[in-house]
Amino acid sequence: FSEEPERAAASLLDPDGPDGVTAIITRRNDQLQEIASYLEASGIKFGTTSPWTLSEPSRQDILRYLRAVILPKKETFIPAIFTPYSEVTVGEAFGISAKYKWTDLSLPDLEKLAPSLHSDVVQRRSKDGILQILESKILPIASSLGKDHFYAALSIQNAVREYFEQSDLPDLDDLMDYLSISNYEEDISPGDNSIVLTTVHKAKGMEFDRVIYCPSNSSERTTFIDIVTRAVIMAAKGIDVRQELRYEDSRIDFV
C-alpha cells in the first residue's frame, strides 16, 4: 500500500483512457479534497458528488478566524489575518506576518493592525459571541464571496449550535474537531465527466465502469463526536458500537 494513497490514486487516472466513467472512491471527505488538488494541478477535469471538495478552502478560512477568537495568541492571529474575515488586505497581512515573525503579537498591537479581529477577540469570546460573529460578519462576507463560501459558513454556524446543545462540558479541541467534520449536506450531480470523485457514503446505489478505491487509516483518538454517537446509539438501540465497528475498516475496504 502507498504511504500517500491520495496521490497514488490521482496518478492512476488517464484522461485519454478508455470510454466510460472512472470513479475514485474515498473513506473521508478530506481525502477527496486532496485528490481534487492533485487533479486540478495536473489540469485534469473531474466531477464530484460532494460539495466538500469545492468548499473546503472556504471552511478553513472560517475555522482559522474562529480559532483566533477562541484561542487568542500570535500563532492563531497570523493565519486569521490572511482570511477575508479579518478585513485586512493581503499586503497588510504579509507586512504584519513579517514584522512579528520573531516577536510576540499582543492584543494592543492587534488593535492597531487588525481592529476588526481585535474587536471580535475582546468582545465575542463567549458562545453567544461566536454565534454573533457568524451571523453578523462571517455569513454576510461569505455570501458576497460566492456559493461555496456561503455553504461553508452555513455548515459551521449550524455545527457550532449543535455542539453547544449536545456538550455538557465544552472543550476547545472537541469544538474544533466537531467543526472540522461539519458539512452542508447537498447532493450534487457529477455531470457528464469521465472522472468522478465521491465517498463510500455518497457512492451508494451508483454505477461506474472503473473504480479506484482509496482507503484510509482511522484515528486512534476518541473524540467528542465518537462519545456522543456511541451514547445515542446505546440509548436508542442498546448496541455498543465499539464492538459493532471493531472490523469496520476491513468490511468497508472489502466493499
Find which of 40-44, 62-66, 151-155, 164-168 is predicted with most confidence, using mean pLDDT. 62-66
Is residue 113 classed as helix, strand or coil in its secondary structure? helix
Q: What is the per-residue pLDDT across 80-109, written as a single tens digit (0 to 9) for each?
A: 999 999 999 999 999 999 998 888 888 888
Of 126-130, 201-205, 237-241, give the lowest mean pLDDT range: 237-241
Question: Is the four-CA dihedral 138, 139, 144, 147 of positive or negative sign?
Answer: positive
For residue 214, the model assigns a pLDDT of 76
Place of cell 510576540: 104
- The pLDDT of residue 70 is above 80: yes
Q: Is 110 helix (H, G, I), strand (E, B) or coil?
A: helix
More confident position, 224 or 199: 199
Tens-place pLDDT, residues 165-195: 887 777 777 887 777 766 555 555 555 677 8
Q: What is the pLDDT of residue 162?
A: 86
Cell of 124: 465575542
